[in-house]
Structure 1
Amino acid sequence: MTATIARPFNQKIRILALRLAFLGLLPLTLFTRPAISGGAADLLETAGILAILLAVLGRFWAILYIGGRKNRTLLREGPYSICRHPLYLFSTIGATGFGLMLESVTLAAVMGGAAFVILSLTASREERFLRAAFAGYADYAREVPRMLPALRLFHTPACLTVDTGTLAGNAADALVFVTLIPLAELLR
């Protein structure tokens, strides 16, 4: 019997699943109208914009820590001290924000829920590799929640080395969420 070697999860599958979910939800965004109007609708839109900005800033924060180190080291500082998959957390917040920008609590729940499910499944698959690759991962997984943050666990080093090349390369991933703001305006 030969042992199988754990390999990192293919991120193209995650990206494809998210794109298909977005396309699947597109008719819902095009053919439904929000039941809320006036000041409440404005509050939802503002909350959506803030959620999208939080998603962008949060993804940059996580990339500062993990950039150039993914699958090479077990990172437990900064955003990775409060949840094991902060990039997925902030992406879920961004998807929820897009639904809020469309002035719909229902769309926010569906979009955020779809992103959360897809990214949770992705995280589960990634963790198979991480458990095999890093001896301390099982302890880390017991101590730190997967995607819902435990702010009380936060800690960070006094100094952080940043891989600027990876940061720049991943900037487009984070900034995709900024394009949701004019897209929401167009759809409304």
Structure 2
Amino acid sequence: MTATTTNAFDLQRIQKIRKWALGLALLVAVALAFVSASPWIKQPFSEGVESFGLGAIIISIVGRAWCSLYIGGRKKAEVVAMGPYSISRNPLYVFSYFGAFGVGAQTGSVTMGLLFVLIAVAVFHFTIQREEAWLTAEFGPTYTAYTARTPRCGPDLSKWRDEAELTVKPQFFLVTLRDGLVFLLAVPIFESIDWA
């Protein structure tokens, strides 16, 4: 097994662990929502938080899909440094933070929204570190130069650069879109908890 093959396998393993950790954290958070009801349930403030959260989920889905137009199918082949990746090294995760807040906000509680963000930040922190180690090993000085000019999460809008054209692989776009749509499941799940 070559170093590149081993590195690619490690990256797949990291992604699988990240997804399991997020799934487990979501289950714990849903359980917490069952035992802790917001004092604002069915109040205008609570409904406003839920609506704001739905907006955050939509931003997350659209933002993640936008990022996949740039990185879909290229992540293991090159350092992607254009579009959203020119202003943040991890824009997919940044948009996932919006989704995490939106999911938690479906409880009607800003506190739960922030708790979901903290869980996502904790899980992604370790994922980002491992991905950065993989990218450094795989792309060396090219990736090191990218890290020097681009913030980890950012974004730094002054660094925006774009491509004249993009080659899009629809499979990756659709997978990212599907994964993002999962955030919307929070709406019926937490509505059913409200009515339980």
By the TM > 0.5 criterion, same fold? yes
Q: 1:183 to 1:152 in 2, by over 3 A?
A: farther
* Counterpart Cα distance in 2 of 1:109 and 1:170: 24
Where do 1:4-15 residues align within 5 Å? 7-8=7-8, 9=11, 10=13, 11-15=15-19
> C-alpha root-mean-square deviation of aligned residues, in Å?
1.8
Where structure 1 has 5 or more consecutive residues not aligned to the other structure, the ranges are none
TM superposition shift of 1:62: 0.7
Identity of aligned residues (%): 36
1:83 to 60, 84, 88: 88
What TM-score do you get using the length of structure 1 for normalisation? 0.91
* Counterpart Cα distance in 1 of 2:86 and 2:187: 30
2:157 to 139, 151, 154: 151
Counterpart residue number, 2:120: 115
Amino acid at match of 1:19: G
Query: Whose helix fraction is larger, Structure 1's or Structure 2's?
Result: 2
What TM-score do you get using the length of structure 2 for normalisation? 0.88
Q: Deviations over 1:47-74 (max 9, x none)?
A: 1000000010011001111111111110
Where do 1:28-177 residues align within 5 Å? 28-36=32-40, 38-134=43-139, 135-177=141-183
CA contact (8 A) 2:97 2:121 kept: yes
Q: 1:149 to 1:187 in 2, by over 3 A?
A: farther
TM superposition shift of 1:14: 0.6
Aligned length: 186
* Counterpart Cα distance in 1 of 2:171 and 2:157: 29
* Counterpart Cα distance in 2 of 1:187 and 1:69: 40
Runs of 4+ in 1 over 3 A off after TM superposition: none
CA contact (8 A) 1:120 1:147 kept: no
TM superposition shift of 1:177: 1.4
Answer yes or no: is 1:179 the counterpart of 2:192. no
* Counterpart Cα distance in 1 of 2:28 and 2:46: 24
* Counterpart Cα distance in 1 of 2:88 and 2:156: 7
CA contact (8 A) 1:56 1:178 kept: no
* Counterpart Cα distance in 2 of 1:40 and 1:63: 35
Secondary structure in 1 aligned to 2:81? coil
